[in-house]
Amino acid sequence: MKTTILPGPEISPGKKYRYFRIIQIIHLLLALQYFLLMFLFLSVPVRHGHGGGMGQGIGSAITFSLPLFIFLFLCMFLFHLASLFQARLPVRYVLLFGFGEVITATLILGLLSFSHQSFSLLQMVFPVTILVLVSLAISLIMGVYMVISQVRKGQGRGTDRFSRDISSFPLPKSRYRNIRPIGEGGVGTIWYAERVSDKTPVVVKVPQKDDEMTGLSFMQEISIWKDLQHPNIAPLLSANILPVPYIEIEYFPGSVADLDTPVPAGEALQIIQGLVSALLYAHDRGVIHCDIKPTNILLTYDGVPKLTDWGLARSRGRWSVTGFSPTYAAPEQRQVYSECTGTTDIWQIGMVCAELLTGRPEIPAGTEPVFQTNEGKILLSVILKCLAPDPARRYQSIRELSDALALDF
């Protein structure tokens, strides 16, 4: 009974999260620089008048080039500012901003190259002209990259291992656009779509079968998930059973399974702390997840973990669906009469943490390099207690585990 929400085909594994953050920082720095240049050009008439003691060439540049510079640098500021949010924008807007950066940077470079008065005006306003030229070249390159990357994504969808045929999508086409299948779980097909009403990118899971167990799993997942609202739990945006069962959640660009492991101890700790925070909230409400694993821990572009897939969860007063993922299952889940309690989630947290730090989903030997540091030794003791075969020897509550993970390094 596996119901994992998978990432889309455009997800970049591993280090691209860090690359994306670097690109965001570059866009921000460029936006700030162009805003400064726009401000300096706006202040030219106040500081120097419209001719005065200045040479006739500079005066002409002020007359003809100054308004154009202000407009072009305003455009560059807006394009780079908007590019900070390209992960959440429809493709056509990303293409628009990419083309905008290319065209505007080319116009400014052309103006500076073929107009001596305009170049002199720039030198007067901002003496370090080489910095402006380098920034414009970077903007040109980044704009070209944005356009090419979006075109490649569009081409890549045509060769995806899943069919582009959306005729099997069971929900009204008037509600969604840009629909494409992006994965399959044990009980459902996973679709990427954008809501027509507000252009929000979402993931829609619909069942592959119409048997009783599949229906039970969907009903349980919706029943439990709709009441869980936490910063580290993927929000359930919409769901229904009739006439067509489906679950709709917010789209996130990847999961812990996409990371290049092992990861640094500090990064692993942040992910696990977010995961524990989500489970502390759920356990306090009587909900046990029972299927914690890397593919069920989605990640935002900022690296914030979002726990998803509550199809195997157990809750007081609700029915339960039996199942587990073998690699991350606790010993009590593998028994003839499978059990899942709060300490089962704790075992699975320990297994995920071990994989983040060592690259292998298994009980660590303790000889791995990461555990030879002071930080690693602390995390090793926590992991080994989580992975005790006897549930009675593990942390007895998520709150106890949360206290043990109240670290900062």
Helix (H) or strand (E) run with residue 248 in it: strand 246-250
Same domain, 30 and 146: yes
Residues 71 and 187 in one domain: no
DSSP conformational letter for 239:
E
Same domain (yes/no): 141, 246:
no
> Does the residue 409 lie in any domain?
no
Q: Please give the pLDDT value at position 282.
A: 95
Q: Note the pLDDT of residue 46.
A: 47
Question: Do 339 and 378 belong together in one domain?
Answer: yes
Residues 243 and 286 both lie in one domain = no
CA distance 176 to 178: 7
* Structure-token pair, residue 56: 């006739």
Query: Do residues 147 and 201 both lie within one domain?
Result: no
Q: Residues 214-241: pLDDT tens digits?
A: 667 778 888 889 889 999 999 999 888 7
What's the chain's Rg over C-alpha atoms? 27
Last residue of a domain, one of 216, 250, 284: 250
- Tell me, yes or no, whether 163 lies in a domain: no
Burial (0-12, 13-18, 19+ Cβ within 10 Å), 88: middle
Q: Which residues of the chain have pLDDT under 70?
A: 1-18, 45-64, 87-88, 90, 152-168, 184-188, 209-215, 317-323
Residue 5 falls inside a structural domain: no
- Tell me which of 250, 267, 288 is where a domain ends: 250
The sign of the CA dihedral 7, 8, 13, 17 is negative
Q: What CATH number should be reported for the domain holding residue 367? A: 1.10.510.10
* Both tokens assigned to 312: 């195997």
Judge if 110 and 70 occupy the same domain. Answer: yes
- pLDDT at 92 (0 to 100): 77
Distant-in-sequence, close-in-space partners of 167: CB < 8 Å, separation ≥ 6: none
CATH of the domain at 246: 3.30.200.20
Q: Is residue 310 part of a domain?
A: yes
Domain-embedded: residue 31 = yes
User: Which residue type, as a one-letter code, is found at position 19?
Assistant: Y
User: Is 300 within a domain?
Assistant: yes
359: left (phi over 0), alpha (psi -120 to 50) or beta: left
Q: In sequence order, what are the beta bridge partners of 203?
A: 192, 249
Residue 147 and residue 29 in one domain: yes
**Backbone φ, ψ for residue 206 (5° rounding):** -125, 145
Please tell me the total count of domains within the chain: 3
Tokens linked to 186: 């044990």
Q: What is the pLDDT of residue 7?
A: 37
Whole-angstrom Cα distance, residue 402 to residue 232? 14
What is the span of the domain harbouring residue 195?
Answer: 176-250
Q: Which two tokens stand for residue 10?
A: 């455009």
Identify the domain boundary among 250, 283, 298. Answer: 250
| Residue 132 located in a structural domain | yes
Q: Are 203 and 248 in contact (CB under 8 A)?
A: yes
User: Do 112 and 215 lie in a common domain?
Assistant: no
Residues β-bridged to residue 247: 205, 239
67's tokens:
């308004």
Which position has the token pair 């439990």? 224
Examine the domain organization and report whether 269 and 245 are in the same domain. no
Is 170 a domain residue? no
What's the pLDDT score for residue 125? 87
- Same domain? For 43 and 152 the reply is yes
Verify that 92 and 142 share a domain, yes or no: yes
- Residue 114's pLDDT is 87
Helices (H), 162-289: 212-225, 265-284
Rounded to whole angstroms, the Cα distance separating 98 from 102 reads 6
Reduced to 3 states (helix: H, G, I; strand: E, B; else coil), residue 249 is strand
Which DSSP category does 15 fall into? Answer: T
